[in-house]
Amino acid sequence: MAHLTLRGQPLGRFAAVLFDKDGTLSHSEPLLITLAEARVFHAVQRLNAVHPERVHDGSSTELETLLRRAYGLDQHGVHPAGTTAVASREHNLISTATALAQVGVGWPEALALAHAVFSDTDGLHGEGAAAALPTNGLMELLTALSGAGLRCGVISNDGTAGIHHFLHHNGLSGFFSASWSADHQPCKPDPGAVHGLCDLLRVKPAECLLIGDANSDLRMALAAGLPTALGYTAGWQRRPPLDPLFPQLQHWSELAVMGTDGASVVSSAISGCSTAE
Q: Are 197 and 153 in contact (CB under 8 A)?
A: yes
pLDDT for the residue 268 = 40
Q: Classify 267 as helix, strand or coil.
A: strand
The pLDDT tens digits of the residues spanning 19-77 come to 999 999 999 899 899 999 999 999 999 999 999 887 778 899 999 999 999 999 988 88
Decide: residue 201, CB within 10 A, 0-12 exposed, 13-18 middle, 19+ buried: buried
Distance CA 194, CA 180 (A): 8
Whole-model pTM: value is 0.84
pLDDT for the residue 277 = 30
Q: Are 233 and 239 in contact (CB under 8 A)?
A: yes
Closest listed residue to residue 43, CA positions, set 69, 23, 21, 63: 63
pLDDT for the residue 84 = 92
Q: Are 133 and 21 in contact (CB under 8 A)?
A: no
Q: Where, residue-wise, is CATH 3.40.50.1000 in the chain?
A: 2-28+132-267
Measure Cα distances from 156 to 19, 188, 193 in Å.
8, 7, 9
3-state helix, strand, coil split of the chain in percent (to 5) is: 45, 20, 35
Element (H, E) at 225: none
Measure Cα distances from 209 to 16, 144, 146 in Å.
7, 15, 14
Instruction: Give the number of other CB atoms < 10 A from CB of residue 119.
Output: 10
Q: Are 268 and 144 in contact (CB under 8 A)?
A: yes
Measure Cα distances from 201 to 16, 138, 152 in Å.
8, 20, 8
pLDDT for the residue 269 = 38
pLDDT for the residue 125 = 59
Q: Could you say which residues of the chain have pLDDT below 70?
A: 124-130, 259-277
Closest listed residue to residue 43, CA positions, set 124, 107, 112, 91: 112
Query: Strand pairing partners for 180?
Result: 155
pLDDT for the residue 273 = 35
pLDDT for the residue 270 = 37
CATH 3.40.50.1000 given to domain 2-28+132-267: yes
What are the phi and psi torsion angles at 76 (to 5°)? Answer: -95, 0
